[in-house]
Chain A
Amino acid sequence: MAGSDISLKTSISLDSITKIYKGNTVIDHIDLDLQEGEFLSLLGPSGSGKTTILRMVAGLVTPDEGKVILRGEDISFTPPNKRNMGMVFQQYALFPHMTIQENVTYGLKARKLPKAEITERVQKYLELVDLKHLAGRRPRELSGGQQQRVSLARALAVEPVVLLFDEPLSNLDVRLKEQMLKEIRHLHRKLGFTAIYVTHDQNEALYLSDKIAVLNKGKIEQFSSPEEILKNPTSAFVADFFGYTNRIENVVLMDEQTAQIGDVKIPVGHLGIDAHPNDQGFLLLRLNAAQILDLQNQQTFMDEKEATAIRAEIRDSRYLGDETELRLHIRDGIEQEITVKLPQMLTPLPPEGMQIRFRFQAEAICFYKGDGRT
């Protein structure tokens, strides 16, 4: 790991950068600071502007307003080949007419490094991504995962000031994705490079990043550590991205830990920004927001020893791997549906129409003001 004196240094800063395409503001005055050695993910749906930001850092797009500052120097209009960056592309973008070795050599030759250093570095990085044995092959003879590792070696070999990733795993199948994620994290730990990683997959972002910037319509919704984002998503947009997929409407916030709908009180773990008691709003719930108390017949069900228990009827149920997903219609005056996931396989699978009782889990529930439709 890098020493503390290095990790305090700012590597790259975006200062109010803005990009307008044909009258549409795709990037709207974004500020970001990244320290040396940090791994930043830009997370957002397509059209959120994440790739445009990455391309501005690379120099492939110039900002209409604002500055890109690299180690204290304004590089907003520096051509990409003078920025000393490395980039891993979604479609690999390998050079098909060159061998793997030539691909990795490319950036070093373009920079006119001494021959001995080129040879040494190419060997080193081919070895790091475990592709030395394929050095003489052409890209089309390699699998998708291998091609992406070549792409990674090509970017690492130039020893860039910032390593850029543009959705590098979205063309790979689940198993390969998992493997590449581990490899990227391992390489980051080992080499300590500064990275910006664009993705629409929150799990990739959570696994790899020191910091995550969640983007929506060209603006940053939240910029913080993975832990903080998971625990305390500051907006409904962020919450929705991180697995708060259920919604309960028409809720009033009673106090900082309780929301009310009809006569039912629901414990709340987190509040969105600007939420205060007596606010009208809605709840977002994770799939683990309900703790099932019993899955039994009416007799036990009538036995009221759990004051906070909520009654619901099962509308649908299915297995997801070794988990069970239930769609619940909540009774007790709420009359809304939520989906919950239980970490075990329920046998037999609870039938449709079965009555159950559950308890809300506060830490999986967020309250947000308004109707969240803006």
Chain B
Amino acid sequence: MLAKVGKTVTFIYVTIILLFILAPLFMILLVSFNPTNMFQFPPDTFSFQNYTQLFQDERILSSIGLSVFIGLVSTIIASFIGLFAAVGLVRGKLPGKNLLESLFLGPLIVPLVTTGIGFLLIFVPLGLAGSPTAIILAHSVVISPYIIRILIASMRQFDPVQEEAAIVHGASPLYAFATIVFPQLLPALLSGAILSFLVSLDEYTVTVFLTQAETVTLPIQIYQLVSVDINPVVTALASVMVILAFVLITILEKRLQIHKYL
């Protein structure tokens, strides 16, 4: 009896939480099929007009291209930073390891506005402000903590005795790393990279300080679409991003089992 009540309460609780989390995303999806008025709910018309317009809009397409490019390059840079940092932090015998680890995770803790202003102060004197390079470098810093965290967790789960076995049987430390450690870190690295790519694709707060007319990333573009002329195309764009994110997260969970590292 009591168990049944408990089950029901749990069910209602979980449903409410899920609704709360997913409601905005459902709203966007619903509204994206209404080309006339994005603030009308429930929508009174149904069409793919927003989607067709989306794929004809030069500004949006170029900002998608730019964001994907920035996302890929900064993910690659962050992967390298993350790999070296995680190996060093878990295996290294350096003093102040814990402090260093906190520092590496700093970008997760410091308000992004602060980080954004900081980058602006660095890139303006260098003449880089507004360039894709600046955004890529800034994104690499902002997203690397995700990769570092996941890789650190994965490294800690890795049994160093495997590496010893490799070395005793004739492998150089580098060969052992490449053949024994790295292949087993790969799922974690891929998980971190996908997560980082999503964060970069979505990054607004830092980017807004570094953007110019030629470097309008996707989130900046979306904001402009909403703030300047309330263009309903934005709902279609947002829906595409939501679906992309869901697909990638599903891959993370099903194929790479990211929960093991979080």
- State which of A80, A96, A154, A155 has its C-beta within 8 Å of the C-beta of B167: A80
Q: Taking A60-B168, A81-B167, A86-B169 as contacts, is the C-beta distance between A91 and B175 under 8 angstroms?
A: no
A93 and B164 form a contact (CB under 8 A) = yes
Q: Closest CB of chain A to B189's CB: distance in Å?
A: 14
A91 and B159 form a contact (CB under 8 A) = yes
Using Cβ atoms and an 8 Å threshold, which residues of chain A touch B159?
91, 93
B183 and A107 form a contact (CB under 8 A) = no
Does chain B have a CB within 8 A of A111?
Answer: yes
Using Cβ atoms and an 8 Å threshold, which residues of chain B touch A111?
170
Q: Closest CB of chain A to B60's CB: distance in Å?
A: 43
Q: Taking A93-B159, A93-B162 as contacts, is the C-beta distance between A87 and B168 under 8 angstroms?
A: yes
Instruction: Kindly state the separation between the CA atoms of A211 and B245 in the bound complex, as whole angstroms.
Output: 65
What is the chain B residue whose CB lies nearest that of A97? B183
Residues 167 to 224 of chain B near chain A (Cβ within 8 Å): 167-173, 175, 179-180, 183-184
- State which of B164, B170, B172 has its C-beta within 8 Å of the C-beta of A107: B170
What is the chain B residue whose CB lies nearest that of A88? B165
**CB-CB contacts of A150-192 with B at 8 A, as 1s and 0s?**
0000110010000010000000000000000000000000000
Instruction: Kindly state the separation between the CA atoms of A83 and B172 in the bound complex, as whole angstroms.
Output: 12
Does chain A have a CB within 8 A of B108?
Answer: no
**CB-CB contacts of A105-131 with B at 8 A, as 1s and 0s?**
011001100000000000000000000
Instruction: Kindly state the separation between the CA atoms of A107 and B159 in the bound complex, as whole angstroms.
Output: 19
Instruction: Kindly state the separation between the CA atoms of A241 and B183 in the bound complex, as whole angstroms.
Output: 44
Q: Taking A93-B159, A93-B161 as contacts, is the C-beta distance between A81 and B184 under 8 angstroms?
A: no
**CB-CB contacts of A187-231 with B at 8 A, as 1s and 0s?**
000000000000000000000000000000000000000000000
How many residues of B sit at the interface, in one of the four size bands? Answer: 10 to 19
What is the chain B residue whose CB lies nearest that of A58? B168
- Max count, chain A CB within 10 A of own CB: residue among B165, B171, B179: B165
- Max count, chain A CB within 10 A of own CB: residue among B169, B171, B179, B180: B169
How many residues of A sit at the interface, in one of the four size bands? Answer: 20 to 34
Does chain A have a CB within 8 A of B166?
Answer: yes
Q: Closest CB of chain B to A121's CB: distance in Å?
A: 13
Using Cβ atoms and an 8 Å threshold, which residues of chain A touch B168?
58-60, 80-81, 83, 85-87, 164
Instruction: Kindly state the separation between the CA atoms of A279 and B115 in the bound complex, as whole angstroms.
Output: 80
Instruction: Kindly state the separation between the CA atoms of A164 and B168 in the bound complex, as whole angstroms.
Output: 10
A106 and B169 form a contact (CB under 8 A) = yes
Using Cβ atoms and an 8 Å threshold, which residues of chain B touch A110?
166, 169-172, 175, 179
Residues 247 to 280 of chain A near chain B (Cβ within 8 Å): none
Does chain B have a CB within 8 A of A84?
Answer: yes
Q: Closest CB of chain A to B171's CB: distance in Å?
A: 4
Using Cβ atoms and an 8 Å threshold, which residues of chain B touch A158?
169-170
Q: Closest CB of chain A to B124's CB: distance in Å?
A: 48
Q: List 28 A-B contacts (CB under 8 A).
A: A58-B168, A79-B167, A81-B171, A81-B173, A83-B168, A85-B169, A86-B169, A87-B164, A87-B165, A89-B161, A89-B164, A91-B161, A93-B159, A94-B162, A94-B165, A95-B162, A95-B166, A96-B184, A106-B169, A106-B179, A107-B171, A110-B166, A110-B170, A110-B175, A111-B170, A154-B169, A158-B170, A164-B168
Identify the 6 closest CB pairs spanning chains A and B, nearest first: A107-B169, A110-B171, A110-B170, A93-B165, A111-B170, A93-B161
Spell out A's residues near B (CB within 8 Å).
Answer: 58-60, 79-81, 83-87, 89, 91, 93-97, 106-107, 110-111, 154-155, 158, 164
